[in-house]
Amino acid sequence: MTKPACQLYLISPLNVDGDFPVRLEEALSAGPVAAFQFRVKDIDQHEAARMAAPLQDICARYDVAFIVNDSIALAKRIKADGVHLGQDDGDPREAREELGRDAQIGVTCHNSRHLAMEAAEAGADYVAFGAYFPTTTKDVKHQADLETLEMWSQFTEVPCVAIGGITPDNAKAVIDAGADFIAVSGAVWNHPEGSAAAVKAFNALLA
């Protein structure tokens, strides 16, 4: 069985107001994107749902999975395609019960195959390892190594996501190590030529 090609997984900036819906549409129209993670912090659920609505519509038009970061309750409220859980954000079993069998459930596992195995046994659809490179998107408490990706992809069928500071210049290392998805944020939304140019650059690597 040949392993499917690595795919692109976009993560939103913290600010998704203003012209962000336009930038998201430009990104998704520029090439294949598997998933988009809605990641906002410190706002109430009602406001988060309001901000998510236009982005969810755009993702639906491009057949891109819409994943909510951290909040099972918000994912259920807006009927998202799934949820991504940090280690302190709830249990995949609880997420499955709340969101249903078709939901995509991901779990942050830092650099730990042990945490990843626990997540997989609890029913996670994918596990995320990182950070692989320096990043300004969030505080990095865990540095991941390529061996974790290599070992996981060789011996486990549950897909893995590489995250943290990934750019078109350094992505090849994590792709070659066996990542099923590369999760990117700043390298797309802060790209000097715009989000479409960034998506095209990543997809040229993934082709």
pLDDT in tens, 97-127: 999 999 999 999 999 999 999 999 999 999 9
Determine phi and psi for 197, rounding to 5 degrees: -60, -40
Domain membership of residue 30 (yes or no) is: yes
Domain membership of residue 173 (yes or no) is: yes
pLDDT in tens, 67-77: 999 999 999 99
C-alpha distances (whole Å) from 122 to each of 55, 90, 97, 149 are 29, 11, 12, 20
Burial pattern 135-158, b for ≥16 Cβ within 10 A else e, equals: bebbebeeebebebbeebbeeeeb
pLDDT in tens, 155-173: 999 999 999 999 999 999 9
pLDDT in tens, 11-47: 999 999 999 999 999 999 999 999 999 999 999 999 9
Cα dihedral 176, 181, 187, 192 in deg (nearest 10):
90
Q: What CATH number corresponds to the domain at position 113?
A: 3.20.20.70
Q: How confident is the model at residue 135 (pLDDT cuts 50, 70, 90)?
A: confident
- Predicted model pTM: 0.96
Cα gap 119→142, rounded to integer Å: 18
Contact 162, 178 (CB under 8 A): no
> For the residues 80-102, what does the mean pLDDT come to?
96
Domain that holds residue 161: 7-206
Cα gap 36→23, rounded to integer Å: 13
Domain membership of residue 108 (yes or no) is: yes
Domain membership of residue 2 (yes or no) is: no
Domain membership of residue 1 (yes or no) is: no
The domain tally of the chain equals 1
Domain membership of residue 130 (yes or no) is: yes
pLDDT at 1: 56
